[in-house]
Chain A
Amino acid sequence: MQIFPCPFCGPRDETEFQYIGEPKARPEPAEEVSDAAWAEYLYFNANPKGASREIWLHFTCMESFAMTRDTETNAVIGSEVLRPGS
């Protein structure tokens, strides 16, 4: 069981968290987005080997944040607040 650092609550068991996805900018407005660009947003992930910056949700406080992990070793590199001024 891994320990993840919620930037608000501190280190917690991984069972308190949900993986949301890779940070992606949502292509908008719909009228100007090509099929390919939208498909990439939906389905294509960088899935890096090594350091990976990911969006996670901590259920206990319901805050989403960014966590960087090493996907090879499962080591946690760091976590950061997403919203400025939170």
Chain B
Amino acid sequence: MSGFRFAEGGALDRGRTLAFTFDGKPYLGIEGDSVASALLANGVRVVGRSFKYRRPRGIWGAWTEEPNAIVDIARAGRTTPNLRATTEKLENDIAVRSVNSGPSAAENRAGLIDRLASLMPAGYYYKTFIWPRWEKYEPAIRAMAGLGKLDPDNRPPAMNPQFNARCDVLVIGGGPAGLAAASAAARSDRVVFVIDDRAELGGQLLHRGGTIEGGDWREWAESVRTAVGAAGGRVMTATTAYGVYDHNLVCAWERRAPQPDALWRIRPKKIVVAAGAIERPLVVPDNDRPGVMSADAALVYLRRYGVLVGRRIAVATNNDSAYAVAEALSEAGAEVEMFDLRQDPPETKLRVTRMAEVEGVVGSTGVEGVRVGGRARVADALLLSGGWTPTVHLLAQGRGKLRYDDRLAALVPAARVEGTTVAGAANGAFTLDAALAQGHAAGGGEGAAPNAPAGRYRITAAWPKPDAPGRRWVDFASDVTLKDVALAAREGYVSVEHLKRYTTLGMATDQGKTSNVNGLAAMAALTGRAIDETGTTTYRPPFTPVPMGVIAGRRRGALVNPLKRLPLEAEHRADGAQMREYGGWLRPAWHGPDEPERAIQREAARARDAVALFDGSSLGKIEVIGPDAARLADFNSFNRLSTLKPGRIRYGFLLSESGVVFDDGVTLRLTEDRFLVSCSSGHTDAVLMRLELWRQDRFDPRRVVVHDATAQWATLTVTGPRSRELVAALNLDVALDDESLPHMSFATGAFEGGPLRVARVSFTGDRAYELSVPASRARSLRARIKEKLPAFGGGLMGIEALMILRAEKGYVVVGKDTDGTTMPHDLGFRGPREARRDEYVGKRSLFLPIAAERGRKEFVGLAVPAGAAPLMTGAHLVQGAGKARRSLGYVTSSYMSPTLKRPIALGLVEDGFARLGQTLAVYHLGAERRATVAGLCALDPEGKRLNA
């Protein structure tokens, strides 16, 4: 037992008692407590176990810098892991659980690990757990790693709002410097936002107090709040500015319980960083024992929570700021002894030992005494104050540089950064009057700054010395000692970035707030460099952990990567369509509740036997319009399009400038100066972008425009031997005889008062009609077609069946049957390359040496022996065995064909065309089979079915 609650004092609502449990034991707290203050008030000392060595740990600090008191908190049956006990408000009926401990923090099964500590220095895992195999140790180590436990039932709804805001001045930090800056800026009529991560403004003033402008600081703070509001600004408390990003964007997390927390993206014209400073530990032996705390934190617990952290308190310091703490604790009734490293400590009534260094802590599960000058003195708490580290993160994230100030023994901002000023403790001003003056100036204040009695801050640097005896902790959270820093130096990891990664110093959830500077100072001493020379590691957002839900906002599930939806989705679903994603669209894959393989085979067979309807609305329809449309269409395409007659359709490829097939599709010539480029559903945006860029770069934009009409049209395709009969039965008033409407042509008409286009294009190899109407008419067209289907023995078809049908014909699907090297001649299309004299995208690449090389992968069919199973898509065709096994290409498409009643496959094979008839080995997951290179088209190679 060390801490206890005072009868009075603290910013608590003493009338309201709260009940909670910690590691299963019940305790009481008071409204206004943090979890940490309630634990301290109850005399709880051990709140967790250290990360590596499982040493008992107590509460060190009072706010976000806390490295030890990490807890899981269960509220209303939902547990949130890895919270800081020092920042979490105590609520009624919560169950708090220590992390990294079993069965509890107080008793721990893995306590023996600490005795093996000498076998587990920094980086030990690079040198151990190797024999016989790492995998043998991995499960046990994984079980022991990590901190809290994830609760899979804790799935908060995606409701966190995100706000964007602008202001003239953003003041980060609502302490004296921040408030002075806000005051100055607001009074000169600027819109000021003040952000502070605590529930109330004041910063250090909340526990250290202060007289400002002759009165209590709270009055002054209220006047600032009023001034900010009057000038149109905002004061946001319980809000953490966690990152500064490019172009002065500041992101902040606003806690608004019981409403969902919010994310703010603020674009200020100027930023004032007044984020204060964090107290550093002294790196003395056994400084990680429960009961060893930050001196400033002890004052917070006394003044804010009415908790005394001990009855016999030792305070070790190297600077003046600890004295106010010691005096307050003494006044509250504790026996306080000061141990000052310096020769001339300030005047005080307290008992002070000068030139005193802590040599050790007595007590293994908690402070029982402190050893100084060879003697052990009884104590139940040891407060350490090693100086203050300015909280410069938000400046440094924006690439502000730091310099080491000898007098302050601190890293402070160096040169100015465009648009950002630092003021107060964050800038090395550790007294109230100095902080107010700096804040006033940072806010552009004229005249006198808000006044306060002059303060004094002196410090004598007490950086860790190499070879200092005993186990001295530098990073509590990562369990890194001074010896580990020395080890890193010995092994050559002398850069701070290497020190960090080799020892994990500064890599825990506290990101080194209490350890980074001690660590780099130790490394500096070890390597004989100045602190400036040694430098700091890169500062990266977030400043403190931010819930993922706040960053994600409402983007979850379907909103993360929204799929494009068909106009007829409701109708498809009503007909039992199983919807799946294809190229960014949600489309019917097959229909009905039957086992998918069976349903798909049935749909494909019916399409070949009779007729089927599928929805092709997702295919891109990009119109190229104008007197120069033909020239742009030609340039953009591998195939000449200017020679296409109006009313006709041509199939072709779009290449990238490296000659690789980028997309394929048909183009319709609607009129002399109007083309419709139809590209794959998944490539529409990219094709549109290419056309638009070439149009702007190479052509006169007044003579050609590009228009994406994909969403305006719905396209329903009727395919199969009985397709013409069915389309005729729709009474569309379009001539359907083959002379009027040959394959690869289209006709226009009307449907329900709007335009209609009937195109004879086939992706199945059977006679097929693509009927396009404005999306608003899609439903009635579909209804009309569907009504006729049974009469012709037809049915609905999804994409899976369509993929089989096209594969039976050897039709390529770009991106599936092609890869990043496939050129048109690899697919068997040579014509335009030989014939075209004009420029087109990718032309020159088709004549590079690599385009003509032997050994290019060519698109071929693959046949398997009778009775064999289908090949695995992705399986490699190989040559040779064992270490000499070499890939000749791979299977790109593979299906069971209901039409041919055997498997069919397509693939890219080295010199495929020359290998026709050859039987090759196919390798997959350790097994080999055989496949024979065949022609692409397994069904109706003459294409008779197109006009059947």
State the A residues within 8 Å of B (CB). 1-3, 18, 20, 27-30, 33, 35, 38-39, 41-42, 57, 62-64, 73-74, 76, 82-83
Contacts and interface: CB of A to CB of B under 8 A. Distances in A.
B696 A38 contact: no
Contact of A38 (B245, B265, B844): B844
Contact of B844 (A18, A20, A30, A64): A30
A76 B701 CA distance: 28
B168 interface: no
Interface stretch (B338-346, B378-386, B618-626, B845-853): B845-853
A35 B689 contact: no
Contacts of A1: 245-247, 249, 265
A18 B845 contact: no
A13 B731 CA distance: 51
A12 to B, nearest CB: 12
Contact of B657 (A3, A18, A20, A42): A42
B697 A64 contact: yes
Interface in B242-258: 245-247, 249
Contacts of A57: 689, 692-693
Contacts of B845: 38, 42
Contacts of A74: 246-247
B843 interface: yes
Nearest to B688: A62
15 contacts: A1-B246, A2-B247, A18-B689, A20-B693, A30-B844, A33-B844, A35-B848, A35-B849, A38-B845, A38-B848, A57-B689, A57-B693, A64-B692, A83-B696, A83-B701
- The 3 A-B residue pairs with the shortest CB-CB distance, nearest first, are A30-B844, A2-B246, A38-B844
B246 A42 contact: no
B250 to A, nearest CB: 11
A3 B247 contact: yes
B397 to A, nearest CB: 13
A27 B844 CA distance: 9
A42 B658 contact: yes
B135 interface: no
Contacts of B701: 83
B265 A30 contact: no
A51 to B, nearest CB: 17
A30 B847 contact: yes
Interface in B845-868: 845, 847-849
B839 interface: yes
Contacts of B267: 3
A64 B839 contact: no
Given A1-B246, A30-B843, A30-B844, A64 B657 contact: no
Nearest to A30: B844
A72 B286 CA distance: 45
Contacts of B847: 30
Contacts of B245: 1
Given A35-B849, A74-B247, A63 B844 contact: no
Interface of B: 245-247, 249, 265, 267, 399, 657-658, 689, 692-693, 696-697, 701, 839, 843-845, 847-849
B562 to A, nearest CB: 15
A1 B247 CA distance: 7
Given A2-B246, A62-B692, A64-B692, 4 more contacts: A3-B267, A30-B843, A74-B246, A82-B697
A18 B686 CA distance: 11
A18 B829 CA distance: 32
B696 A64 contact: yes
A79 to B, nearest CB: 14
A35 B844 CA distance: 8
A38 B659 CA distance: 12
B839 A30 contact: yes
Contacts of A76: 247
B839 A28 contact: yes
Contacts of A73: 399
Contacts of B692: 57, 62, 64
Contacts of A35: 848-849
Contacts of A3: 247, 267
A20 B693 CA distance: 9
Nearest to B846: A30
Nearest to B697: A64
A38 B844 CA distance: 7
A3 B657 CA distance: 30
B452 to A, nearest CB: 38
Nearest to B399: A73
Contacts of A38: 844-845, 848
Contacts of A30: 839, 843-844, 847
A63 B394 CA distance: 36
A76 B248 CA distance: 12
Contacts of B843: 30
Nearest to A29: B839
Contacts of B249: 1
Contacts of B265: 1
A82 B696 contact: yes
A64 B247 contact: no
Nearest to A18: B689
Contacts of A28: 839
A46 B845 CA distance: 21
A62 B685 CA distance: 11
A22 to B, nearest CB: 13
Nearest to B251: A1
A3 B265 CA distance: 13
A3 to B, nearest CB: 5
A63 B696 CA distance: 8
A44 B474 CA distance: 48
Contacts of B839: 28-30
B102 to A, nearest CB: 43
- Count chain A CB atoms within 10 A of each CB in B246, B265, B692, B839 and give the residue with the most: B246
B693 A64 contact: yes
Contacts of B657: 41-42
B408 to A, nearest CB: 29
B693 to A, nearest CB: 6
A18 B848 CA distance: 29
Nearest to B708: A62
A1 B265 CA distance: 9
Contacts of A63: 696
Contacts of B247: 1-3, 74, 76
Contacts of A20: 693
B822 to A, nearest CB: 17
A71 B215 CA distance: 51
Nearest to B418: A75
A19 B283 CA distance: 50
A62 B696 CA distance: 10
Contacts of A27: 844
Contacts of A2: 246-247
B137 to A, nearest CB: 43
